């Protein structure tokens, strides 16, 4: 049984060779360059503290859109520091969050954007918030 399978293998590889070697066609839309300018950040979190104990955790999943290649390289190198700074800014926000209230993204996103600009040392990197979760 194994011999039959091994005998058919070379002919299968000869037939599949050209199909595997052919490169997929390049996408013909505007989306190829957009992914190159996006730098995904690790999820950053902050505890929600009420009455001197933790009541929950707010997690924010985000990325930065940086069209400038020099700034994109800088943001990539600053990712650990950026995550730390954004976590501290989120902790300040959660300290003032009312109990049971949903997060106000109209207030939170500009605070985080200001922190990205401060950490990067210049404007030009746009923060994109993908997901905000409170557990």
pLDDT (tens digit per residue) in 15-38 = 555 554 554 555 555 555 556 899
Rounded to two decimals, the pTM is 0.71
127: β partners: 64
Residue 45 lies in a domain: yes
Confidence band, pLDDT 50/70/90 cuts, at residue 42: very high
Residue 3 lies in a domain: no
**The pLDDT of residue 5:** 55
**The pLDDT of residue 17:** 55
Record the tokens describing residue 98, joined without a space. Answer: 């009312």
% of the chain at pLDDT higher than 90: 59
Residue 13 lies in a domain: no
Residue 1 lies in a domain: no
| pLDDT, tens digit, 9 for 90 and up, residues 43-65 | 999 999 887 777 899 999 999 99
**Helical segments of the chain, H only:** 2-21, 69-77, 79-95, 105-120
Spatial separation of the C-alpha atoms in residues 113 and 104, rounded to whole Å: 14
Residue 8 lies in a domain: no
CATH number at residue 76: 3.30.479
**The pLDDT of residue 99:** 81
Residue 72 lies in a domain: yes
Residue 120 lies in a domain: yes
Q: Which domain holds residue 58?
A: 35-134
Domain count for the chain: 1
* 85 within 8 A of 115, measured Cβ to Cβ: yes
**The pLDDT of residue 98:** 84
Residue 15 lies in a domain: no
* 60 within 8 A of 43, measured Cβ to Cβ: yes
End-to-end CA distance of the chain: 55
| pLDDT, tens digit, 9 for 90 and up, residues 81-123 | 999 999 999 999 999 888 888 999 999 999 999 999 999 999 9
Spatial separation of the C-alpha atoms in residues 110 and 116, rounded to whole Å: 10
């Amino acid at each position: 049984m194994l011999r039959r399978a091994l005998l058919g293998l070379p002919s299968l590889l000869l037939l599949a060779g050209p199909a595997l070697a052919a490169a997929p066609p390049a996408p013909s839309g505007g989306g190829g360059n957009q992914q190159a300018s996006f730098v995904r950040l690790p999820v950053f979190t902050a505890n929600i503290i009420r009455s001197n104990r933790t009541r929950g955790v707010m997690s924010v999943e985000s990325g930065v859109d940086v069209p400038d290649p020099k700034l994109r390289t800088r943001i990539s190198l600053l990712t650990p520091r950026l995550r730390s700074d954004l976590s501290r800014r989120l902790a300040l926000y959660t300290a003032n969050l009312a109990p049971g209230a949903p997060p106000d993204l109209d207030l939170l996103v500009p605070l985080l954007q200001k922190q990205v600009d401060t950490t990067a040392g210049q404007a030009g990197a746009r923060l994109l918030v993908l997901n905000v979760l409170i557990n």
